[in-house]
Amino acid sequence: MQDILFGYKLNPTTWAYISALMMIGIYFKFHRFWSVRNSDLVGLICFSPGLLLIYYGLAKQEPNLVRAGYVALFVVGGCFLVRLLVDPVMVRRPLLEPNLSAGGLTFTGVSLLVFMMANVITHQPERTPERTPERLESLLAKQEAPALPNPGYALFYRFAGFSNEAIIPVDKSQPDAARMALIRASTTRTVAILAHLAIVAGLVWIGFRHFDNIHTGVAAATLYLLTFYTSQMTSQVDHVAPAMLLVWAAAVYRRPIAAGVLLGLAAGMIYYPLFLLPLWCGFYWRRGAIRFCFGAALSLSLLALSLSLTAPNAEAFTAQMQQMFGWRNPLEVVPSGFWQYYEPAFRIPVVAAFAALCAGLALWPAQKNFGTLLSCSAAVMLGTQFWHAHLGGLYMAWYLPLLILAIFRPNLEDRVALSAVREAWRPWRRKAASKPE
């Protein structure tokens, strides 16, 4: 941004304070001080200290600060996990509109979006001894790659890694390589910008179409752009692209095939949304389950087919399929982030508890509506951070938009599959109904 606005510089600490004050001023309900909305807002702000500790710990190379940051993220995430699990029983949900009008929120959101896109395009995060990178993602890009690749679609992670080529200096003696790195980085950053735009549009659409209040949708989108995490991890495609698919899967939940296709794509990309399938099948159980499963299977099949066409041999294809479906020994993984400071074997009971949680959400609550679908989906994606081996806790985009929707949602008890999802078109039923008695 220094190239556009002379003298512009906003370090992470300053933005953490500014974003917190703006969130309080716009969303905090002073006349209902002890409302759940206010506690949710404070919880979102409490993510900032953990991210700042990790940022300055990496910048100053102090592992104790980094460890304290991950612990802080896990504590706040644990509180939100409990809050999301009890969200289905919170029936009384009065409409608490933001303190700013819809026009003011729209202007604020558009301004934040423009600044975020400009930061992604113009930011040059090469670190020098005189200058510290202005975003956490720049420091994380310099960390060593995991010994085993992250579970998910191999080609997607390869594409997402192109954005780091502009962060890590290339050999300028090879102009062709430098030019190719610039093209790849520009492509990934363009995809990141489009994904953020899609998330914002999805939040507004859900507010307008499913919450019956476009003001709420604009408020949710603006809050997403205001969060400290969004400003620090703007160009990470592996963070924002799956989040975009999950948001739009929720936006088109009335069409089971489309929701299944989007959720299947997200699951194929990063593997972890596979644990959402029992929950969503439980939601569509009385109507639309077969269509939803068909859409998810179609997406996964297409991704597997693309791997078979690009893999050099059968052995490579088998390895990529195992990576996409997370088929590996957890004890062989060398963790980074939170679990590098603690005994990795403790991840195994965490994984077992998470699996039990996902299985339980398929059965409880028995009568699922769109509101419980949002909150429980956010809980599942938040729960993955507690056992994600590589930088677990920092992939907040996977659940942050869904968490914000769960915070703003009204009472949606009437939005169940039987009433919201259309019955499958069956020509033989139509012919039987048209026969005269």
Residue-wise pLDDT for 142-158, tens only, equals 777 777 788 999 999 98
Q: What are 388's two structure tokens?
A: 């994600």
Is residue 337 classed as helix, strand or coil in its secondary structure? strand
Highest mean pLDDT among 187-196, 374-383, 413-422: 374-383
Percentage of residues of the chain with pLDDT beyond 70: 89
Using the predicted structure, report yes or no on whether residue 6 has a pLDDT greater than 70. Answer: no
Compare 322 and 436 and report the one with higher pLDDT.
322
Average pLDDT over residues 346-373: 93
The mean-pLDDT minimum among 157-161, 183-187, 218-222, 316-320 falls in 183-187
Instruction: Say if CB 248 and CB 268 are below 8 A apart.
Output: no
* Mean per-residue pLDDT over the chain, rounded: 88
The mean-pLDDT minimum among 95-99, 249-253, 377-381, 412-416 falls in 95-99
Q: How far is it, in rounded angstroms, from Cα 89 to Cα 412?
A: 12
Percentage of residues of the chain with pLDDT beyond 90: 65
The mean-pLDDT minimum among 18-32, 75-89, 110-124, 337-351 falls in 110-124
Q: How far is it, in rounded angstroms, from Cα 22 to Cα 28?
A: 10
Using the predicted structure, report yes or no on whether residue 101 has a pLDDT greater than 80. Answer: yes
Compare 173 and 377 and report the one with higher pLDDT.
377
Compare 360 and 123 and report the one with higher pLDDT.
360
Compare 137 and 244 and report the one with higher pLDDT.
244
Closest Cα partner for 383 from 409, 408, 402, 407? Answer: 402
The mean-pLDDT minimum among 57-71, 161-175, 417-431 falls in 161-175
Average pLDDT over residues 118-144: 68
pLDDT at 163: 73
pLDDT at 430: 47
- Amino acid sitting at position 22: M
- Amino acid sitting at position 211: F
In the block, tokens 């029992």 appear at 278
Average pLDDT over residues 7-25: 87
pLDDT at 182: 76
